[in-house]
Chain A
Amino acid sequence: MDEYLQWLDSLPKASGALKAIQLRGRESLKRLGLPNQAIEEWRLSDIAHLKKIIQYPYVKELNQIFDEENPIKSLVDNKIQIIIDSQDIHKESINLPKGIRHLNQSELEQSLGHSIEKCSFMDNWTVAMNHAATMEVLGLKVEGKNLPLIEIVIPSQRDSFIPTRVIIFVEENAELELTQIIQGSQNSVHSHVIEVHLGQEAKVNHGLLAFGEMNSSLMANIAIEQNARSNYSLTTVQEGWLFSRLEPRVVQIEGQAHTNIKGLQISKGKDQIATHSLVRFDGPEGTLDQLQKAAAADHSHCIFNGSIEVPRIAQKTNANQLSRNLLLSSNARIDTKPELEIVADDVRCAHGATVSQLEEEQIFYLRSRGIEDDQAAALIFKGYCQEILNCLPQNKDKTQIMQKLLRGMRK
């Protein structure tokens, strides 16, 4: 605990819109203390690892880890790339297209934290940690349609703690395609929080690609607030982190909106990769389509916890959730826990979960056509991932992503 407080005190102080938030974050952290396994949502987490990572020093300077050959660096047509780090968001260096602009100071002060509160993230430890540490925020306002894809890249630094914060305000009727890429490096610790506010009839297609490296860690919170008749799609991919905890939360504040969540998490070695999602319908006639896939190899551990809350007001909600898991090694572990809380009576909710290995029958079928065992398994595994990758926003070269996912995977 002492180390924890010392570390807290070592964090630099923010100014402007973030000042108040930072103060609240630090107070929350002190009040909450370190998570422990007696708390249900942390029960399966590697707490020892958490204790280690809070000792990493605050990031000094972010290295551009993207070299010339890295395809992510090269701009695809009709794409705006924003590279952020905790120090400097290169605000001036980005030429934003018409229809997208930076939030000004007073807009930031007004909107920052709104969706966080709606998503009941106020007492969330990883959010508090991010708020306690963040020095800068990228705030965007989206007002048009047919805009180029926005790609937000969050690079890395070895042996450092890297907090980043984003807020995007999507106005009524506006449409946005958004990709986030979070890159880990050796012993790096990422803390990321993004809020997206969707006005009525707004449409957002959001992809989040999080690729770790040796011993890297990620804690990310996604807070989405949806107004009526808006349409939000989220596709997340987590791979390569020793410790990763992703918490997407969506609240349909008036119902009558559509939410689509697709997730893929792949763990290898001694990784622990977790997704804790929550969708709440605070109004009637909302819909949800959720598919979470996880694959655990070697000595790794995949966790999925998926809550759906349908309060009394949310009549005629239609929610579907499916958790599909592949257990690829007898030393690996899968935990999956859907949670449905329904108070309205006129609703349709279905959820399902499966845990299995790769289908023997499928592998046999491919082998009977002359394909080797390993190759057959790889093909089927690729198919398993492809279903999620297909949902990512346009303009992403998916073969690159697939190669990353397949690295180190053996039958």
Chain B
Amino acid sequence: MNSENSVGELVSQPYKYGFVTDIETEKIEKGLNEEVVRLISSKKKEPDFLLQFRLKAFNQWKKMKEPIWANLGYPEIDYQDIIYYAAPKKIEKKESLEEVDPKLLETFDKLGIPLSEQKRLSNVAVDAVFDSVSIATTYKEKLAEYGVIFCSIGEAVNDYPELIERYIGSVVPSNDNFFAALNSAVFSDGSFVYIPKGIDCPMELSSYFRINSGDTGQFERTLIIAEEGASVSYLEGCTAPMFDTNTLHAAVVELVALDHASIKYSTVQNWYSGNEHGIGGIYNFVTKRGHCRGKKSKISWSQVETGSAITWKYPSCILQGEDSIGEFYSVALTNNQQKADTGTKMVHVGPRTRSTIVSKGISAGHSSNSYRGLVQIGSKALGARNYSQCDSMLIGDQAEAKTYPYIRSQQPQSNIEHEASTCRISEDQLFYLQSRGIGFEEAVSMMVSGFCRDVFNQLPMEFAAEADKLLALKLEGSVG
């Protein structure tokens, strides 16, 4: 058996979430200008401060250039050929789930995220976001008993404007980068989480993002605030239908952790990645950043990236509070014509701040997988420490793996260690497993999963199994 080819075939698994939900949506005209920004704001009945935030961002965006330094090489995006607002009709958020359009409930059922009272997951509160509009949030009442706020950003803008005004754009400024500016100008919806002082959030919080429209840009915004001594674990999942055009997704996630607070943010990204010829798929440009503002605070990013035609994403931590901790655990699997340029930034500002980076890239087919990281130790970060490890696995001789770990230090009393390696699944390892009766597919899947173990161990229980399954699914044979 030619194991090279077979491994290649293995990773070419049809996408299982490619269906489209037939639902009436309200859309505005294609194109972006100041009027469109105002229109979005007025449709969402936003207070003036938010309109001003959007307009400022829009003006900044007009002057900015799309970044070209990443190894992505996608065709030029026509920003005037995108619809910037679409919402399912009859979307008025319902008091009870029974009033939500059954088609939407069915959609989420099909995706394995049941929302109805009887079927919903027992220890995970879910905010279901359909085409960037939140349609339902489960367990709101139970969370409210603890003072935990978990709702859509749209609701939060109306119900908790002072929190939004105080924190929005405080971690990712509206002019941070081209895509963040675009998001700040036109963001539609997303999730908002507030954990009050001293509260350990009693359940996992989860947002499930579903893209349904083909020609609509997707711009969610997520904001999570953990007050002093609070802690929360948040999960994010994403899927999209198969279209032969590319859909732009430019999200912003901001996390704020105050003294002794901790936020764990996990993502399983499985947007449609296009077909084997690179036609269609999501262009995923995401700015995710956490700010460890308080002392001994901790922000931990875990991500399993398997989808999207293009991924441009660097979940980062600004470690300002003394003794604060940043973590980044990532698995990125690319296949066919997929291109991923992902990594992290750990900016050590405060003394004794610590960070850990573990990145595992798997490239198959004709895909390209880049790790791009920055570890920066500022002159005041006395006693800071970083450990980074980034490993690449190549499957087939047409795949590319690139590693750009950047280190900058201005503090002698600090310690930075970086290790990286590249490997492939060796024929001898495969044969060894096979000679013990383990099938070829399972053997490959075991080894890939073993390669990713350090990262999977960091995911919350509920998600670790899902991530493993997702990877196994991607590696499953094309028959059966």
Contact = CB atoms under 8 A, between A and B. Distances in A.
Interface of A: 40, 312, 315, 325, 327-357
B465 interface: no
B397 A344 contact: yes
Contact of B407 (A40, A332, A336, A341): A336
B422 A355 contact: no
A350 B410 contact: no
Contacts of B422: 340, 342, 347-350
Contact of A353 (B395, B418, B423): B418
B418 A342 contact: no
B400 A332 contact: no
A342 B401 contact: yes
Given A355-B416, A356-B416, A346 B407 contact: no
A345 B397 contact: yes
A13 B69 CA distance: 39
B424 interface: yes
B134 interface: no
A329 B396 CA distance: 46
A349 B401 CA distance: 11
B398 interface: yes
B322 to A, nearest CB: 17
A333 B407 CA distance: 11
A353 B397 contact: no
B402 interface: yes
A355 B409 contact: yes
Contacts, number: 117
A96 to B, nearest CB: 45
24 contacts: A327-B414, A329-B412, A330-B411, A330-B412, A333-B408, A334-B407, A335-B407, A336-B406, A336-B407, A339-B402, A340-B402, A340-B404, A342-B400, A343-B399, A344-B394, A345-B4, A345-B396, A346-B397, A350-B419, A352-B420, A353-B407, A355-B407, A355-B409, A355-B415
Contacts of B69: 40
Contact of B415 (A315, A338, A351, A356): A356
Contact of A342 (B392, B396, B410): B392
A123 B377 CA distance: 34
A61 to B, nearest CB: 43
Q: In the complex, which of the residues B399, B401, B419, B422 has the most CB atoms of chain A within 10 Å of its own CB atom?
A: B422
Given A344-B397, A346-B397, A334 B424 contact: no
B270 interface: no
Given A345-B399, A350-B422, A353-B405, 10 more contacts: A315-B397, A329-B412, A330-B413, A332-B410, A351-B420, A353-B416, A354-B417, A355-B414, A355-B416, A356-B415
B407 A348 contact: no
Given A337-B406, A339-B404, A342-B402, A352 B411 contact: no
Q: How large is the interface on B (under 10, 10 to 19, 20 to 34, 35 or more residues)?
A: 35 or more
Contacts of A352: 417-420
A348 B377 CA distance: 30
Nearest to A327: B412
A357 B412 contact: yes
B379 A330 contact: yes
B253 to A, nearest CB: 27
Contacts of A330: 379, 410-413
A334 B394 CA distance: 31
* Chain A to chain B: the 3 pairs with minimum beta-carbon distance, closest first: A345-B394, A340-B403, A353-B418
A344 B424 CA distance: 10
A354 B408 contact: no
Interface of B: 4, 69, 377, 379, 392, 394-424
A134 B412 CA distance: 41
Contacts of B406: 335-337
B353 to A, nearest CB: 15
A327 B409 contact: yes
A341 B401 CA distance: 6
Contacts of B405: 337-338, 353
Nearest to A354: B417
Contacts of A339: 402-404
Contacts of A354: 415-418
Contacts of B417: 352-354
B420 A340 contact: yes
Q: In the complex, which of the residues B377, B392, B408 has the most CB atoms of chain A within 10 Å of its own CB atom?
A: B408
Given A325-B409, A329-B412, A357-B413, A342 B394 contact: yes
A327 B399 CA distance: 37
Contacts of A341: 400, 402
B407 A350 contact: no
B397 A334 contact: no
A333 B410 contact: yes
Contacts of A312: 397-398
Nearest to B400: A343
Contact of A350 (B399, B409, B420, B424): B420
A322 to B, nearest CB: 10
A17 B161 CA distance: 75
Nearest to A346: B424
Contacts of A328: 412
B402 to A, nearest CB: 5
A351 B408 contact: no
A352 B411 CA distance: 19
B130 to A, nearest CB: 39
A16 B402 CA distance: 43
Contacts of B379: 330-331
A354 B387 CA distance: 9
B2 to A, nearest CB: 13
B400 A349 contact: no
Nearest to A358: B412
Contacts of A350: 419-422
A315 B397 CA distance: 9
Q: In the complex, which of the residues A327, A345, A346, A347 has the most CB atoms of chain B within 10 Å of its own CB atom?
A: A345
A336 B392 CA distance: 20
A47 B396 CA distance: 43
Contacts of A333: 408-410
Contacts of B395: 345
Contact of B423 (A325, A343, A344, A348): A348
A46 to B, nearest CB: 16
A391 B407 CA distance: 27
